[in-house]
Copies of this chain bind each other. A is one copy, B any other.
Amino acid sequence: MPKPVIPEEKRRRRRPTKSGTVLSERLIVDAALRLLREHGSAGLTARRLGLALDADPSTLYRYFRGMDDLTLAIGDALIGQALEGWTPTGEWCEDLRTVGLRIHAAYVAHPQAAVLTTSRVTGRANELAADETVLEILRGAGFPLADIVRIYHAFIDQTLAFAALDAASLALPSAALQADEEMWRKTYARLPMATYPRIAEAAPLLATRMVTSAYPTALEMLLDSACRYLDVPLRGAGNCATSHNEPAPANGPIAPLS
């Protein structure tokens, strides 16, 4: 067992644990999700997981290379849930909206798990299926390939990015979460009009809006831009005063600015 690679699902299930249950990847992932919900995103520990499964912590290393490998398996499960049972209607705008909201909702439904997995790229089946779906929807809308890829990129990363952000808020220990929410009601609401005039005048609206997710709004703006672009590919009159013909001018690399 120094570094004995873990056998795949082709394992001939063998010994039950001392309490009688027979382990499996599925069983472990489910237990992990339960632990995450109950103890927070930092509450998934090998010891606790062993305790929850009535098995020794070291047993987990028969199923996963380490805790990181386990989190990838958890992420795969979440993606799978997102589009489970959904079928496209053919209305590209509606379909894109639904897919976005579903993926976002699936992650946000398991915030503590989402925090650990949102930014990981697994290349597994469920992830591929989701990508294929989005590309297919955009193709059906009639975009040229270059625009399909541009919009796909913005759409999927925006969805994952908001999922991660919103999940992170929800995954905070409840004390910190309440503190954050009350920040908008108390701190921000009582800022002096003299030094923070714009925050002060917007405070009531901010207090109600900032405690919700901005994803629906941002998604709608993205869809809006794509819709209008389908009619008028290049920006006509009445746009931003600044001039640039490409809707997505320069995509910098993710960038080691140091």
- Residues in chain A within 8 A of chain B (CB atoms): 91, 93-94, 97, 105, 108-109, 118-121, 123, 128, 131-132, 135-136, 139, 145-146, 148-150, 152-154, 156-158, 160-162, 164-166, 168-170, 180, 183, 187-188, 191, 196-199, 201-202, 205-206, 209-218, 220-229, 231, 235, 238-242, 247-258
Contact check, A164 vs B161: say whether CB atoms are below 8 A apart: yes
Contact check, A248 vs B169: say whether CB atoms are below 8 A apart: no
- Chain B residues within 8 Å of A158, by CB: 158, 161-162, 214, 218
What is the bound-complex CA distance between A202 and B137, given in angstroms?
Answer: 13
A140 to chain B, nearest CB (A): 10
- Chain B residues within 8 Å of A183, by CB: 121, 123
Q: A153-B210, A222-B218 are in contact. Are A165 and B166 (CB under 8 A)?
A: no
- Chain B residues within 8 Å of A223, by CB: 240
Identify the 8 closest CB pairs spanning chains A and B, nearest first: A119-B168, A135-B198, A161-B161, A93-B240, A217-B248, A221-B225, A157-B214, A161-B165
Q: Which residue of B lies closest to A221 (CB)?
A: B225
Q: Which residue of B lies closest to A184 (CB)?
A: B121
Contact check, A255 vs B216: say whether CB atoms are below 8 A apart: no
Contact check, B154 vs A217: say whether CB atoms are below 8 A apart: yes
Contact check, A228 vs B239: say whether CB atoms are below 8 A apart: yes
What is the bound-complex CA distance between A58 and B161, given in angstroms?
Answer: 36
What is the bound-complex CA distance between A227 and B109, given in angstroms?
Answer: 34
A154 to chain B, nearest CB (A): 4
Contact check, B220 vs A221: say whether CB atoms are below 8 A apart: no
What is the bound-complex CA distance between A80 and B148, given in angstroms?
Answer: 37
- Chain B residues within 8 Å of A198, by CB: 132, 135-136, 139
